[in-house]
Amino acid sequence: MENEKSAIEILKEFADKSNRKIEHYRKDYPVSNFRPRFLYRSYAIIQNSSDNTVSFICYSDSKAFGDNAFFSEFFSQYQLIFHQKYI
């Protein structure tokens, strides 16, 4: 179990192998002083190096509930054109 990779390490390897750029961020924040523990908010964005279009987005907030807690999606070039045109 010591050699298992984190999700962000796997995404970094994917971005490097496919010649893409990756941007990621993770912020820990305390929940309470009574029972010390930390929650986190993080995101990762992978962009195509050639035209800077987004290929993958992932967002997570362990403090949030419901639909706002986690989002992850891969985009194809067709989806990007559709979203830009109709949204």
3-class SS letters over the chain: CCCCCCHHHHHHHHHHHCCEEEEEEEEEEECCCCCCCEEEEEEEEEEECCCCCEEEEEEEECCCCHHHCEEEEECCHHHHHHHHHHC
Tell me the two tokens of residue 56.
């993958």
Place of tokens 């985009």: 75
* pLDDT tens per residue, range 47-70: 887 777 777 888 888 877 777 788
Calculate mean pLDDT across residues 72-80.
Answer: 66
Q: How many Å is the Cα radius of gyration of the chain?
A: 16
Q: Tell me the mean pLDDT in the region 31-37.
A: 75
Q: What is the pLDDT of residue 82?
A: 46
- The yes-or-no verdict on residue 9 having pLDDT over 60 is yes
- Lowest average pLDDT, out of 11-15, 39-43, 45-49, 80-84, goes to 80-84
pLDDT at 11 over 60: yes
Q: Where are the domains of the chain?
A: 7-86
